Amino acid sequence: MNEFVCVCTGVKYGTEYVDKLYNMVSRHATNVRFNVITDSKKDWRPEINQIIVDPIFPTWWNKIHMFRDDIGLKGRVLFMDLDVVIFKNIDHFWDFESDAFIIIQDFNRCRIPNYAVRNSSVMKFNAGQESHIWTEFLDNPQKIMRQFRGDQDYMTARYKQGPIWPVDWIMSYKWEIGLEPGEKKRSPHDKFVKEKYTDKKHGLPEDCCVAVFHGKPNPAEIQHDPLVLDNWR
């Protein structure tokens, strides 16, 4: 059985984000145990395995907990952020590049060729194989959090030369998927207005299985795009 894990600590995302992610994984993956790393017991369905941790780190740094070797994860583990939308079967994600650690090339790739920064919204690893990430961080978390802006910069420093997901499998909703025929890819430095996305119908590239909603908008803010409304449920 493959492992799927997400992280829900603090108050940024409500419990409905975990419910919807569970539903999407259930529709688009087989033979998977769904896990959530959280800071307290929640009223989720019993099929969701809750891994309770002490949220000793701020915001996104609590992702680091997933690399611990004492939380019960086994075999190949696929992680996704809560603000993603899954459109198609993702069984092949667990098999990609065998036992290698896999991470996204950051979405600034759409304007900077060979962009080296990584994005940690979707990662795959072998349980226990990357536990050094946790132990190294735990040795001096304050130093690491001062040195790196967030977990993505920390992961980039360690996996800058490692394998990445195929760019067509996982795409930015606002920078890569939301393009009309003939429209140029948007610059990440454009000023995005929420209303620009809530009413626009987007097209899905053939091989794209997952859309990442970094920054604004969140999936919950999309009001009229059937691509999101039909899948984020």
Residue 179 covered by a domain: no
84-86, strands of its sheet edge to edge: 84-86, 210-212, 170-172
Averaged pLDDT score across all residues of the chain: 87
- Judged against a pLDDT cut of 80, whether residue 61 lies above it is answered with yes
The token pair at 50 is 């809750």
Beta pairing partners, 125: 77
- Residue 193 domain-assigned (yes or no): no
Q: How many CA atoms lie within 13 A of 38 on its CB side?
A: 20
> Does a structural domain hold residue 195?
no
213 assigned to some structural domain: no
pLDDT of res. 202 = 57
Has residue 38 been placed in a domain?
yes
Per the DSSP assignment, residues forming a β-bridge with 86 are 210
Q: CA-CA distance, 67 to 127, in Å (whole number)? A: 7
- pLDDT over threshold 80, residue 200: no
Residue 224 is assigned to a structural domain of this protein:
no
State the residue for tokens 């009001």.
223
**Mean pLDDT, rounded, for 119-147:** 94
**Distance, CA of 35 to CA of 6 (rounded, Å):** 6
- Name the band, by pLDDT with cuts 50, 70 and 90, for residue 116: confident
- In a domain? residue 217: no
Question: So what's the pLDDT on residue 185?
Answer: 53
Percent of the chain residues topping a pLDDT of 70: 89
Name which of 24-28, 42-46, 54-58, 148-152 the model is least confident about.
Answer: 54-58
Q: Which stretch of 39-43, 58-62, 212-216 has the lowest confidence by average pLDDT?
A: 58-62
Q: With respect to residue 156, please indicate whether it lies within any of the assigned structural domains.
A: yes
Domains: count for the chain: 1
Query: Mean pLDDT throughout 207-222?
Result: 92
CA 200, 20, 40, 133 torsion: positive or negative? negative
pTM: 0.90
CATH code for the domain of 109:
3.90.550.10
Can you tell me the mean pLDDT for 181-202? 45
Q: Would you state the pLDDT for residue 158?
A: 83
The domain in which residue 155 lies consists of 2-166
**For 168, which DSSP code?**
T
